Amino acid sequence: MTNNPSDTVRADFMSMTPEELGAYTVSLGEKPYRAAQLFSWMAKGAPLDAMTNLPAAFRKKLAEEGEYRRPEIERKLVSAIDGTVKYLYRMTDGECVESVFMHYEHGTSLCVSSQAGCAMGCRFCASTLNGKVRSLTASEILGQAAVTAYDTGERVDGIVLMGIGEPLDNYDNVVRFLHLVSDERGMGIGLRHISLSTCGLVPRIYDLAGEGLPVTLSVSLHASDDETRSALMPVNRRYPIAELLAACRAYFEKTGRRVSFEYTLIAGRNDSREDAARLADVLKKGMRAPCHVNLILLNEVKETGLETPQKARANEFMNELVSRGVNATIRRRLGADINASCGQLRLQRQKAGEGA
């Protein structure tokens, strides 16, 4: 891990591993065992004044000399349909990002953001409309999970890095986050219960394969030919489909983890039967390894002018893939009444700010 959180002027101590926190705690004149207590409290999402077994003087020192980058809840929406909770979290500098807490039969899952805004420019996406402001620190990504657990009183069983931002454009902080969130002394979320979604930054996929972290790689494909994909996702001009699939295959070979592909259906752009047939072909030739396709109905973002197809279209698309031997499912939409897809609350708040 390259970035050292104690290098900053005010130490970002929630980004520290227990070992780094031990050294920091000692530097503040405290006994090393206080670091384990502090790490465990932070993993629970507790504010400093709730850490009652830590000396008040130590907590004061942490507040004054360090910076506890625990996100605050700016807004919270709860779905009346399925109990999905959407948070708008405010970082210590005022930047806001979204997280979505979902309940499935097999447990809970939290979708977290990795950046404030996004630089990737995908045509259909709300998160990238105003570009990227900055990457989140490991603490700010971890904090979304910890504070959600604190606020709901529930355990977060799994995490998907599918919120605002491109996780592989914030590589070091995301890898640090993966170490922190899976640490048994903290949240202890198994890496096998974590998915990282990327638009396809090929060199970083190879890097991630080499980290020895068994996370599921989820790749946003959204098209089966380079022309269509480049029109929807500018990143494809840099890393075209063949190179991307070669990286996915390498990821599978190195980690043994089945790669999953996201394919958002957009009316008239990528949702025809021919698109499905070509997708099956491209995956079979390019991957030659087990994979799964998650079909997503476009969540319409007014500014993009793109439209979502009929549900029947999605079923036809899925059947075409399955009949050609490709695993595919349509993603169930949770929190439909609270617009739980990411990027839209942050956008609303930015607009409100501009109008003020």
The least CB distance from residue 152 to ligand SAH, in Å, is 22
- Asked if 199 is an active-site residue, the reply is no
CA 46 to the chain's CA centroid: 22
Choosing from 135, 170, 197, 270, the residue that interacts with ligand SAH (CB under 6 A) is: 197
Helix (H, G, I), strand (E, B) or coil at 334: coil
Query: And the tokens for 297?
Result: 């109905």
Backbone angles phi, psi at 349, to 5 degrees: -70, -40
Choosing from 17, 99, 170, 220, the residue that interacts with ligand SAH (CB under 6 A) is: 220
Q: Counting contacts by CB under 6 A, is residue 317 touching ligand SAH? A: no
Q: Counting contacts by CB under 6 A, is residue 177 touching ligand SAH? A: no
Catalytic residue of the set 20, 30, 98, 166: 98
By CB under 6 A, which span of 2-10, 92-100, 150-158, 294-302 interacts with ligand SAH?
294-302
Choosing from 14, 199, 209, 276, the residue that interacts with ligand SAH (CB under 6 A) is: 199
Q: Are 5 and 11 in contact (CB under 8 A)?
A: yes
- Return left, alpha or beta for 121; rule: phi > 0 is left, psi -120 to 50 is alpha, else beta: left
Q: Toward ligand SAH, which CB reaches closer, 77 or 129? A: 129
Q: Counting contacts by CB under 6 A, is residue 299 touching ligand SAH? A: yes
- Asked if 274 is an active-site residue, the reply is no
Tell me how far CA of residue 82 lies from CA of 103, 146, 314, 334, 335, in angstroms.
Answer: 8, 22, 22, 7, 6
Q: Counting contacts by CB under 6 A, is residue 162 touching ligand SAH? A: yes
**Distance of alpha carbon 127 from alpha carbon 97, whole angstroms:** 10
Choosing from 175, 209, 217, 296, the residue that interacts with ligand SAH (CB under 6 A) is: 296
Q: Counting contacts by CB under 6 A, is residue 124 touching ligand SAH? A: yes
183: nearest Cα among 48, 51, 12, 19? 19
Residues 6 or more apart from 27 whose CB is under 8 A from it? none
Q: Are 164 and 349 in contact (CB under 8 A)?
A: no
Q: Toward ligand SAH, which CB reaches closer, 84 or 198? A: 198
By CB under 6 A, which span of 79-87, 91-99, 191-199, 271-279 interacts with ligand SAH?
191-199
By CB under 6 A, which span of 40-48, 137-145, 271-279, 293-301 interacts with ligand SAH?
293-301
The least CB distance from residue 301 to ligand SAH, in Å, is 5
> Angle at Cα 64 formed by Cα 63 and Cα 68, nearest 5°?
35
**Distance of alpha carbon 14 from alpha carbon 144, whole angstroms:** 12
Number of residues that bind ligand SAH (CB under 6 A): 16
Choosing from 35, 125, 174, 340, the residue that interacts with ligand SAH (CB under 6 A) is: 125
Residue ranges in contact with ligand SAH by CB under 6 A: 122, 124-125, 162, 166, 197-199, 220, 262, 264, 296, 298-299, 301, 341
